[in-house]
Amino acid sequence: MDPEEKTAHLESWANPRPCPARIPVRVTATATAEEWEAVFSPPLDHDAYESLKQLIDTDPCFTLRFDDSTVEVEVQEGDFDNVHHLRLTATSKS
């Protein structure tokens, strides 16, 4: 893990059930402020990928939870064609 890379969890709150998805990711800040490249860690299998794709289609907003903070993020449209990573943009800080 390089010094700019952190571990976190990507959490979906797309429906009233308590946190239907909590996915471990490694995130790296990009050159643009408030943007991250998230890599699934471990990689998603086909079923998990399809479930996450449905969640993103329903609502692309997630919570990115670090050990000591959270950030509300949105998955960038058209960026989920790759099974291994997502580009996330902050929508607000908490």
- Report the pLDDT value the prediction gives residue 77, as an integer from 0 to 100: 67
Q: List, for residues 68-77, the tens digit of each pLDDT value.
A: 999 999 998 6
Residue 14 has pLDDT above 70, yes or no: no
Predicted model pTM? 0.78
Q: How far apart are CA 15 and CA 69, in angstroms?
A: 22
Q: What's residue 56's pLDDT?
A: 85
Instruction: List the domains of the chain with CATH numbers.
Output: 5-93 (2.40.10)
Nearest-CA neighbor of 76 among 60, 53, 57?
60
* Count of Cβ atoms closer than 10 Å to residue 86 Cβ: 23
- pLDDT interval class at 89 (50, 70, 90): very high
H-type alpha helices, 1-94: 46-58
- Please answer whether residues 80 and 94 qualify as being in contact, where contact means their C-beta atoms are separated by less than 8 angstroms: no
- The span from the CA of 15 to the CA of 18, in Å, is 8
The bridge status of strand 35-40 relative to strand 61-65 is unpaired
